[in-house]
Amino acid sequence: MRWKSPTNVLMSFLIAALVAVAAAGTVRSAKNPDKHDSAEAELQEDSFTLTRLLEDPRQYSLVISGTDERSISGTFSVDQLQVLRAIMVEAEKFAMTVEAAGAKEPITTRFADRQEAAFVVDVQKDSNQSRLFLTLKTEIGRMTWEAGKITRSTRREDGFFFALLSRLESTLPKLPSQSPK
């Protein structure tokens, strides 16, 4: 493992932040991730960038920011991002079903990896809607975003969760698939 000087790490974060501001693809997500009781929350513009680091092509910078000036960034390996992709895929599949949906009160189910603590996806389900919350734990802290919403009856998806998942699927190398026996 090659150690980076604090100056190089800081420069990587600054470059990632500048790239995020300059080239961020803006997508929609719910406005207030701390208010779990309003299924009809107003939407705001949140964005993310996923950029391969020039100094190490097996590392990516992930920056998530919102119009409310909340943001988090971190550097993740390809292996870590494949874990994130797997967690997001399973959470999305679950969010599309009526399994474990609360009839009166929403029920929350957590998706995480035991070895990789950097990523958590919580799926909150009520009778017809699933809300997806993405938590990132990086070198600079931990932050949770309401990253997506699915209306199951129409299969409508809103939020940056789905754009991030699509980007991970198109950017990362494909894992060998397990053939059924």
CA dihedral 171, 173, 178, 179 (to 10 degrees): 90
Are 145 and 49 in contact, with CB atoms under 8 Å apart? Answer: no
**Whether residue 113 has pLDDT greater than 70:** yes
pLDDT tens across 62-81, in order? 999 977 888 999 999 999 99
CA angle 114, 124, 132 (to 5 degrees): 70
Domains of the chain and CATH, by start: 6-171 (3.30.2450)
Name the token pair of 91. 């959470």
pLDDT reported for residue 125: 92
pLDDT reported for residue 153: 87
Instruction: Report how far apart, in Å, the C-alpha atoms of 20 and of each of 15, 47, 137, 171 are.
Output: 8, 8, 18, 17
Beta bridge partners of 145: 134
The residue among 151 and 3 whose pLDDT is bigger is 151
Rg of the chain taking only CA atoms, in angstroms: 17
What's the CA gap between 127 and 175, in Å, rounded? 34
- Between 39-48, 76-85, 132-141, 149-158, the lowest mean confidence (pLDDT) is in 39-48
pLDDT reported for residue 56: 94
pLDDT reported for residue 177: 60
CA dihedral 166, 101, 42, 30 (to 10 degrees): -30
- Kindly state the average pLDDT of the residues 140-158: 91
What predicted TM-score, i.e. pTM, was given to this entire model?
Answer: 0.72
